[in-house]
Amino acid sequence: MDVEPYLAEVDAPSARAIDFLDARDLPPPEPLTKTLNRLATLDEETVFVQLNDRTPQFLFPKLDDRGFVYNTVEIDEGVLTAIWRP
């Protein structure tokens, strides 16, 4: 899936590399676990993009605690959350 067109909608940096996870078919808590594992090694040159079938509300406090910037938008395919380091 090409997520680049959606980065402007979530005010994510568009000049960075993209790490994408399609979590729509993953049972809980796999989307949260896989996302946090990948964010542990996310560098400042990459935007992590998660596509889920619902808003990842349990993820947001963990992102706040870790100092990430993020934004979420609903699209036809599901809920897209872009996460990056400031």
pLDDT in tens, 5-59: 888 888 999 899 999 999 999 999 999 999 999 999 999 999 999 999 999 999 9
The residue type of 3 is V
Question: How many domains does the chain divide into?
Answer: 1
Token representation of residue 37: 């594992």
Could you tell me the CATH number of the domain that includes residue 40?
3.30.110.40
Residue 84 reports pLDDT greater than 90: yes
Token representation of residue 49: 């993009």
How far is the C-alpha of 21 from the C-alpha of 30, rounded, in Å?
11
How far is the C-alpha of 14 from the C-alpha of 24, rounded, in Å?
23
Q: Give the structural domain span for 77.
A: 4-84
